[in-house]
Amino acid sequence: MSELESIARAIVAPGKGILAADESSPTIKKRFDSIQVESTEDNRRAYRQMLFAAAGAEQHISGVILFDETLRQSTDDGTPFPKLLAERGILPGIKVDKGAKDLAGAAGEKITEGLDGLRDRVAEYAGLGAKFAKWRAVIDIAEAIPSDYCLEANAHALARYAALCLEGGIVPIVEPEVLMDGGHDLQRCYEVTERTLCRTFGALYAQRVPPEQIVLKPNMILPGKKSSKQASVREVAEATLHCFRRCVPAAVPGIVFLSGGQSEQEATAHLNEMNKLGGGPWELSFSYGRALQASALQAWGGRAENLAAGQKTFLHRAKCNGAARSGSWTEAMEKVA
């Protein structure tokens, strides 16, 4: 087994998943605005340190996706964040894309930018300790979209990114996210996700990216937030597994689902149900941002005296999602907390 495949498999180790702490500066500002804390560099550093230093997190967290600023920051005692994580057996990762921008000639659709200079950035990030990277493509659903043009453009960019990461010695997390905004139903999400995944893996194959050396970070099959037809936990799990069995090669080590617009408990319940149903050839894990952090952010509130409370809340969510990895999470775990 190659080193890259070993890293990919470590990312989806049983009982563990990813903390997505790669919020861009505008996004983390929105998070801090919600708790009335100024988004200064030191406040951002203190918040991320609270999460990364939480004792016991390594039991449930296999890796952390960092933002460029965070990768270069250190703890109060001067330990670089990547070193802090690595010493605890947690893999440091890095968001490398430059964000989704309007796709020329395709109203309402986006293309992720950041390929220019990526080879050099990958080399720098690897030197700073990153073991894996992440690139997010954004696919919206409306009456006439997504177009084949949009799907092809984003699949091509994801594959080029993945090839450059592997060349530079880091594992690519491939994230084609079909958004859950809008009023579409479960079946429409299924159809668009199926098209997206087939295009993505076609592009990865064409650009010589071995599936054994990547990790997939997709959406679950969910109705839009504005849909009048919401779905049960079982319906979401069944539709998601059915779609992914049709589209994702068995050689892919694991799938780390994003939480999207789900609540913390919804994201945990859906992952848990998929693992209870089982039957797939890959590990089914998580790469959650808000679904691991929302309650912890509120508990911390920007106050040093609330550090322990913030860590306790974060660890609870990590433990719940760790249990969902084996289908052993229960609502009783939430009530105890």
Among residues 16, 95, 131, 217, which one is catalytic? 217
Distance CA 96, CA 100 (A): 12
pLDDT value at position 337? 59
Q: What is the CA radius of gyration of the chain?
A: 19
Secondary structure letter of residue 105 according to DSSP: T
Q: 190: part of which helix (H) or strand (E)?
A: helix 186-206
Structural class in CATH, domain 3-336: alpha beta
Domain locations along the chain: 3-336
Q: Is 5 a residue whose pLDDT tops 90?
A: yes
Q: Is 219 a residue whose pLDDT tops 80?
A: yes
> Could you report how far apart the first and last alpha carbons of the chain are, in Å?
41
Q: Which residues, listed in sequence order, are joined to residue 134 by a DSSP beta bridge?
A: 95, 173
Q: Residue for token digits 């592009």? A: 203
Answer yes or no: 335 catalytic: no
Answer yes or no: 30 catalytic: no
Q: Is 336 a residue whose pLDDT tops 80?
A: no
pLDDT tens column, 187-217 = 999 999 999 999 999 999 999 999 999 999 9
pLDDT value at position 335? 82
Three-class SS of 42-103: HHHHHHHHHHHCCCCHHHCEEEEEECHHHHCCECCCCCEHHHHHHHCCCEEEEECCCCEEEC
Model's pTM, two decimal places? 0.97
Contact 221, 239 (CB under 8 A): yes
pLDDT value at position 36? 96
- Residue 337's SS3 state is coil
Among residues 16, 95, 131, 175, which one is catalytic? 175
φ/ψ of residue 45, rounded to 5: -65, -45
Give the dihedral sign, CA 239/241/246/248: positive
pLDDT value at position 256? 98
